[in-house]
Every structure is written in structure tokens, then in C-alpha cells.
Amino acid sequence: MIELSCVVERQGETSLVELLVVNETSHPRRVRVANRLDGPVWPPRKRGAPDVGWDDGGFEGVVDPGERVGLGYACPGAPTEPPAEIVWSEREASESRDERPRTAGATSLGPADVCRLLDDPRPPRDVVESTTGAAALIADESFTGVEARIERAEVLAEAVSVSDAARAIENEGDLRAVERLVERLQDDAEALGRAGPRARALASRAETIAHDVPLAAFRRLA
Amino acid sequence: MILAVAGGKGGVGKSTVALNLGAAWDAVVVDADLAMADLPMAHGPNLHDVLAGRTDPLDAVRDWGSLKVLPCGRTLTGARACEQTRLVEVLEAVATSYERVVVDCPAGMAADAGMALLAADACLLVVTPDPNSLADALRTRSLARRLGTGLCHVVCNRAQNSDSTQMVGRVLGAPISSIPEDERVARAQAHGRPVETVAPDSPAARRFRELATAVHSCRS
């Protein structure tokens, strides 16, 4: 079933209503939540217009199975209990989902999506201090960590079939994780190259294997 | 509960609010500004080490006076080596052990700010009387919404006029608190301390205690 919990708070001449809509069923459900305070709904707005799903009386949208959606609005009317209620809900037909508004705040984004959609804030490789980079790498990171990354890349470089490649990408997480591994190996090679015989040997392996990982093929596969 | 203290614009006082709210709310304060850490730094493992997989998150939480802090590293190498996607699981691990976590988010709208907002249960936006800070806060609110994180409160730092403060709260759509300009806050912050340690009866210290109460009521 669909559960609604509400909290209302009066601030000056305005009531602020917070809603939590939870779909405990195993199917997407379209829900209508109606305001019960004595006054119009002042909904959240985007560029001057009410946000998707909102109108003068309340909110309508789709809540996915297991999803918890937080909503909020303001109203000039005095607080009352309950401040809002579900007036109807129905199982959402899958063919109609793209035509009518989904819930505000619904997201299925994960950490990898955030990296993909937003800029990388890390300092560029060429501004990381070149004179102290090697020392910092050794202070910050054992050779064991570098060897582990080389070994992961060696597995990727051995992928000769589509199924091998798919499995290898999945073991790393996703394509972006493979790309980050290659970038990290390039950083390792650059820093280790300045750090002595064992480090130079590792640098050579890291640089070679970073080139051997078939990134172009993995990107086509993804 | 994981609360992200964000705001988009640099210099509005996110770190100051995060530190003082963390103290008043008895929360672990995590400095998630990977490239420009602001919060107290001491020897030992830090968030750079955690995100590079060298240290367990709980091993990087340390006592700092009355506070518990998970500080960030300060080297460009460390910032470059961070695996940012791990921040979500790191914050969740800290919240599982310590219940309340305040995250000092970086300025801007890059992946580091987004990752902290993604991990958070709610966000608190910091603005100042400067109109540019409101514009950046609106953009941050949009990003937070896209990532499924609601806005629970707004803080107007270095506040002056109460009418304009209330207007800012209506525009952003959340309750708003104002922290008055007080050089004791800045002086304490410069030493990595909350103002309650140097001026517990000051209006600023009272407002931070009230803010902690308000934030506590946002828990779902």
C-alpha cells in the first residue's frame, strides 16, 4: 500500500508542510496527494512555474516500488491535522509512464553517474607537484598498491573475447572505473619514474600495461 | 543522519557553520572539501587516505576538543589519488557508527560536491547577504533535488536584515536561521574551534544551538 506521513509547521503567516510518500507495493503507483489546509497550495517552483506534478490543490505523480519520496509545500492556511492526505492511488500502466509527470525528487543516480555528469574536481596531473610527487607517492602509497593496480590492468589486457571483456569490466565496476584505473596507472608511472630502480621497473610495467588495456574496445562494448 | 552543509558559493562560511553545528549537534564533522580542506587538521589518517583505500573510515575519525572530526588531507597528490565514488559508502559507514554526521561540502557544482549531496539524507544551504550567494544556493538546491536529497534548512551567515533573511528562506523554500556577524566566531574558527568554546553566551553560539535543535527535527 501507499503510506503518507506529514508534518506541518507554522512560520509567521505561512504553514510549511512536509510529506513523505512511501510505496510499499511491488508496482509503480500513481498517487494524488491533496492539501487539507484552508488555503491554496504554494508549491515548489522552477523558473517561476510550479514544479512538475504540483497544482493549486496538491500533487500528483508516480512512486516506484520501494521508493520513499519527500515533498514539501507552503500554504497560508492555519495548520490542521492531517495537513494533507492521499485521495487516490492506482497502479501505473507501464506504457503511460513517459507521458505524465513522475515524482519530483525521484532519482536512480549513483556515484558513478555523479562522476559522469559533473566535472572532475581533482587537480590536473600536470599541476600535482613534480619535484615532490614521487616522494609524496612513496609516503602516501606503498608499492603494493601500485602492483595491485598493475595486476588488475594485466587481467583487463588479457581479455580476448567479448565475454572476457564484459566480465573484466564488470569486475572493475563499470567502464568509467576502467578508465580511472588507466589514468591512475599513468600517474603511478610518472611518479615512480623518479623514484629509484624498483620504482623504475614498476613504472615501466605500469606504463606498458596502461597502453595494453584495450580501452577503445571496452568503450565500443559499453 | 548525514547532513550536507553546502551552498555553491565559496567563502559564505560553510566550514564555519559545519564546525559549529557539528559541535552543537554532537555530530562527527567530515571535511569533504578534497582539494581545499578547511577544517582542523592533525597528524594521522585523513579522508584522502580513506578514499584512496589505505585507511578504514572509522580509523580516520579523531577527537578534536569537544568535537569528533574526520579531516581531509591537504596535498595535491592526495586529492588527485582520491576515489571519489567511495565517499558515499564512507559517509554511510561513519553514520552507522556515530549516528549524526555533518559534511562540510566543497564549493561549486563538480563531482565532489555532488557526491556529498548524493550521500546525504538532507542538505543545509549556507548563504550570506550577498545576492550572488543566493543564486549559487538555488543552483545547489537544484543539484541536490536531482540527486534525491531534500533541503531541510537554510543558514544566512553574517546576517544583517531580518526581512531580507525571511525572503531568502521563502525563495529557497525552507526554514531559515541567521547567524549574526561576530568576530569571535571567526577567531575561534581560525583555531579550529566552535564559538561555544570561547563565547558560549554569545548570540552566535545560541543560534548554533537553536540550529542544532531545528536540524534534529528534520530526521525522518
The values of phi and psi at residue B83, to 5°, are -95, 95
Rounded-to-integer distance, Cα A5 and Cα A27, Å: 20
- Mutation target for A interface from B77, B84, B151, B220: give the one with most A CBs within 10 A: B77
Q: Which of residues 131-170 of A touch B (CB under 8 A)?
A: 132-133, 136-137, 140-141, 145
Interchain CB contact of B175 with A (< 8 Å): yes
* Backbone dihedral region for residue B112 (phi beyond 0: left; psi -120 to 50: alpha; all else: beta): alpha
CB contact under 8 A, B54 and A141: yes
**How close are the terminal C-alpha atoms of chain A, in Å?**
38
- Mutation target for A interface from B76, B89, B115, B176: give the one with most A CBs within 10 A: B76
C-alpha cell at A185: 596507472
Average pLDDT over residues B7-34: 91
Rounded-to-integer distance, Cα B89 and Cα B98, Å: 14
pLDDT tens for each residue of B22-61: 999 999 999 998 767 666 665 678 898 888 888 899 999 9
Which residues of chain A have a CB within 8 Å of the CB of B54? 140-141, 145
pLDDT tens for each residue of B174-193: 889 999 888 899 888 888 88
Interchain CB contact of A104 with B (< 8 Å): yes
Which residues of chain B have a CB within 8 Å of the CB of A129? 76-77
Give the list of residues 6+ apart from residue B119 with CB closer than 8 angstroms, or none. Answer: B2, B4, B87, B88, B91, B92, B103
Task: Determine which helix (DSSP H) or strand (DSSP E) holds A141, and give its type and residue range.
Answer: none
pLDDT of residue A125: 67
Q: State if pTM tops 0.90.
A: no
Q: Name which of B25, B29, B20, B94 is nearest B56 in CA terms.
A: B94
Rounded-to-integer distance, Cα B124 and Cα B102, Å: 10
pLDDT tens for each residue of A30-48: 899 999 999 999 988 765 6
| Cα of B80 to nearest chain A Cα, Å | 5
Evaluate if residue A99 carries a pLDDT over 50: no
SS (HEC) of chain B: CEEEEECCCCCCCHHHHHHHHHHHHCCEEEECCCCCCCCCCCCCCCHHHHHCCCCCHHHHCEEECCEEEECCCCCHHHHHHCCHHHHHHHHHHHHHHHCCEEEECCCCCCHHHHHHHHHCCEEEEEECCCHHHHHHHHHHHHHHHHCCCEEEEEEEEEECCHHHHHHHHHHHCCCEEEEECCHHHHHHHHCCCCHHHCCCCCHHHHHHHHHHHHHHCCCC
Q: Are A20 and A4 in contact (CB under 8 A)?
A: yes
Rounded-to-integer distance, Cα B87 and Cα B101, Å: 13
Nearest residue in chain A measured CA to CA from B142: A46
Nearest residue in chain A measured CA to CA from B139: A46
* Residue percentage of chain B with pLDDT more than 70: 94
Nearest CB partner across the interface for A44, out of B34, B76, B173: B173
pLDDT tens for each residue of B54-81: 889 999 998 888 889 998 877 777 777 7
Secondary structure class of A8 (helix, strand, coil): strand
Nearest CB partner across the interface for B114, out of A20, A70, A114: A114
- A67: DSSP letter: -
Which residues of chain A have a CB within 8 Å of the CB of B75? 136, 140
Q: Are B198 and B205 in contact (CB under 8 A)?
A: no
Rounded-to-integer distance, Cα B102 and Cα A219, Å: 38
Average pLDDT over residues A187-206: 74
Give the list of residues 6+ apart from residue A34 with CB closer than 8 angstroms, or none. Answer: A57, A58, A84, A85, A86, A87
Sheet containing strand A58-63, strands side by side: A58-63, A29-35, A84-91
Q: Which of residues 93-122 of B touch A (CB under 8 A)?
A: 106, 108-115, 118
Nearest residue in chain A measured CA to CA from B173: A44
pLDDT of residue B219: 66
CA torsion A19-A23-A24-A26 (nearest 10°) is 180
Average confidence score pLDDT of chain A:
79
| CA distances in angstroms from A124 to A121, A128, A129, listed in the order given | 9, 7, 10
Which residues of chain A have a CB within 8 Å of the CB of B113? 118, 121
pLDDT tens for each residue of A128-142: 655 455 555 555 556
CB contact under 8 A, B147 and A114: yes
Higher local confidence (pLDDT), A94 or A209: A209
C-alpha cell at B184: 569571535
Q: Are B127 and B155 in contact (CB under 8 A)?
A: yes
CB contact under 8 A, B109 and A119: yes
Q: Among B70-74, B199-203, B206-210, which stretch is predicted with the lowest mean pLDDT?
A: B70-74
C-alpha cell at B137: 544556493
Nearest residue in chain B measured CA to CA from A181: B83
CB contact under 8 A, A114 and B53: no
Nearest residue in chain A measured CA to CA from B83: A180
C-alpha cell at B102: 555533518
CB contact under 8 A, B175 and A9: yes
Which residues of chain B have a CB within 8 Å of the CB of A72? 150, 173
| Cα of B65 to nearest chain A Cα, Å | 27
User: Would you place residue B17 in the very low, low, confident or very high pLDDT band (cuts 50, 70, 90)?
Assistant: very high
C-alpha cell at B177: 536561521
**How close are the terminal C-alpha atoms of chain B, in Å?**
9
